[in-house]
Structures are given as C-alpha cells and as structure tokens.
C-alpha cells in the first residue's frame, strides 16, 4: 500500500512497533510529538491514517486520545494489540552497579514499580517524554551512570544493552491501539462499534442508554467516561459494542439512542481482534 501512516513518538516507540505490525508493508511513516498532532495532520490530509494507543490493560485509558476522538471528526477503522515488556537498558560497559539515573515515561516507572523499589535509595527516576526518547537520550549521553526503561526494539535501534530484562510488574500487559482515518470504513468482517455521547442529568439516564443495547442482546465491550471541557461534572461516555452498522438490531439501537441524546457520534465500525489477544508474533 502507498498510504502515509502517522504515529506519535520516535522510532522504537510502542506506537511505531504497532504501526509496523498493523501495516507490515507501510511505505511511508511520519512521526509527531503529540497525540493530538496525529489527529490534526490526518484531518489536514498530511497523512492517510494514524495509529494511536488508546488503553492499556494495567494502566487504563489514554485520556488525550479519547478526548481527540470526540473533538475531531475522524473515524476508527481498525485496532491492534501489542504486548508491553519493559527492560532496563544501559550503554555498553554499564552495569546495575554503575547506574545512578533512570529515564523513562512515567508509565514505564509505574509499570516497573516492584523492580525499582529495590533500588529506591540509589537511583534517581527521571520522568521523560517516552520510553524511546529515553533510550535515545541514554545512547547519546553514552554515560554508564544513565539507564532507560524501554523495549528490546529500542535496544536494537539505539545500540544499548539489557541490564535487567522484563522488569515490568505484570506479565500480562497489553496496549490497545486504534487506527484512525478520515472516512468510516468497514466491510462485512466488521464486528465492533465505538460510540460517544453525553447524557442529560437525570436519574437513570446512563442506565436507560445502556438498556437500549442490553435489551437487544448487544454486548458492551468497553465503557469509559471523560469530562466535558467547560461543563464541570458532565461527561462523555465512550462505549464499545459487539456488532456492525450492517446489523438490523444495531441500527435500531442507534435510532433509539437518538431520542436519549443529542450528540451521539459513531466513532467507528471495524474488526475486533478476537478475545482481545495480542497479535501473533
């Protein structure tokens, strides 16, 4: 394919890894500094698709991506999963004993808390832009006192060595990525639907809205809420459902939703990765 795919981060980031899994033949990629830039550049036709992490099985949702999904008029056209593994990486010649400073994304620290506790008094943890930028920085500094928490892909790209492998607390750590495009794109293999809506402040309004789907046997795969900017303590509800826009009962449910909420948006209809398992390696 000749599509241009955008992601946030630098080579070696989890997003770039997910990109090459989902688009194994991607001819051109563009990377951006912020999640929102991926949405902006897609909206402005500088890229054809974007790939973004949206939730992690341990740390939960990625706020910014949910918020952008609501505010940009773009669509989810697919999803993919990546298993997250963290490793302590240093420059050649460094060792666990030489390390004084550890760089990573705050999530890298959070997901490696048990391992890091043993070194609590000796190591300074320095929050950095992301795991890949941390690895690149440690490589550039070429200082045996500095280490990064990052992936094996970063070790390869930035010429680092593993000081301690698999330092993450939870072996079962998956990040779900979404692929976004400018058009609603789905075929007859689509079996997952993502929606966002807000609700009036009324007893049971969320319950009633979920009932629209439950009563039709449509399974709820995910539910998240995010505050509405400028309207304190009002929320957008993001729901994922098992079904396709081609299903009669889904279309009926969406019609019924129209009477409950003014601002229902279909965010996408696409193929769910079965059982939320990671892609085969």
Site residues (vs a copy of itself, CB under 8 A): 55-60, 63, 106, 127, 169-170, 172-174, 203-204, 206-208, 210-211, 213-214, 217-220, 223-227, 229-233, 276
Q: What is the DSSP letter of 44?
A: T
Question: Could you tell me which of 75, 135, 76 has the C-alpha nearest to residue 102?
Answer: 135
174 is annotated as an active-site residue: no
Cβ atoms of 35 and 43 within 8 Å: the answer is no
Element (H, E) at 155: helix 152-158
Query: What's the min distance (Å) between Cβ of 213 and a copy of itself?
Result: 8
Residue nearer to a copy of itself on the CB measure, 166 or 229: 229
The active-site residue out of 109, 177, 213, 237 is 177
3-state helix, strand, coil in the chain (%, to 5): 30, 30, 40
Contact between 7 and 38 under an 8 Å Cβ cutoff? The reply is yes
Closest CA to 158 of 177, 139, 184, 185: 139
Least distance (Å) between residue 277 CB and a copy of itself: 9
Residue 163 or 239 having the CB closest to a copy of itself: 239
From the CB of 219, what's the least distance to a copy of itself, in Å?
5
- 166 vs 208 by CB, closer to a copy of itself: 208
Q: Which is nearer to a copy of itself, 91 or 133 (CB)?
A: 133
Clarify whether 63 is annotated catalytic.
Answer: no
Q: Are 6 and 41 in contact (CB under 8 A)?
A: yes
CB of 78 to a copy of itself, least distance (A): 18
Give the nearer residue to a copy of itself in terms of CB position, either 18 or 218.
Answer: 218
**Residue 164 in 3-state DSSP?**
strand
- 188 DSSP 8-state letter: T
Half-sphere exposure of 157 (CA within 13 A, CB side): 20
**Shortest distance, position 1 Cβ to a copy of itself, whole Å:** 30
Residue 235, Cβ density class (10 Å: 0-12 exposed, 13-18 middle, ≥19 buried):
middle
Catalytic residues: 175, 177
């Amino acid at each position: 394919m000749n599509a241009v795919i955008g992601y946030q981060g630098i080579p070696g980031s989890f997003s770039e890894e997910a990109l090459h899994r989902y688009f194994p033949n991607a001819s051109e990629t563009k990377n951006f500094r912020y999640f929102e830039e991926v949405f902006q550049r897609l909206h402005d036709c500088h890229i054809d698709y974007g790939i973004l992490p949206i939730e992690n099985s341990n740390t939960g949702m990625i706020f910014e991506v949910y918020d952008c999904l609501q505010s940009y008029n773009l669509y989810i056209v697919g999803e993919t999963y990546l298993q997250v593994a963290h490793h302590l990486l240093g420059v050649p010649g460094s060792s666990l004993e030489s390390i004084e400073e550890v760089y990573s994304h705050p999530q890298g620290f959070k997901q490696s808390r048990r391992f890091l506790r043993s070194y609590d008094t000796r190591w300074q943890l320095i929050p950095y832009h992301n795991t890949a930028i941390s690895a690149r920085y440690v490589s550039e500094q070429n200082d045996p006192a500095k280490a990064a928490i990052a992936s094996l892909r970063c070790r390869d790209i930035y010429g680092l060595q593993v000081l301690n492998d698999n330092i993450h607390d939870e072996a079962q750590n998956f990040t779900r990525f979404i692929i976004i495009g400018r058009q609603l794109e789905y075929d007859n293999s689509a079996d997952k639907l993502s929606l966002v809506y807000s609700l009036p402040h009324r007893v049971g309004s969320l319950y009633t809205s979920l009932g629209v789907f439950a009563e039709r046997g449509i399974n709820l795969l995910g539910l998240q809420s995010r505050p509405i900017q400028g309207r304190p303590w009002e929320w957008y509800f993001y729901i994922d459902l098992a079904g396709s826009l081609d299903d009669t009962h889904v279309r009926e449910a969406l019609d019924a939703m129209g009477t409950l909420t003014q601002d229902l948006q279909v965010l996408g209809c696409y193929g769910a990765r079965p059982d939320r398992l990671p892609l085969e390696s």
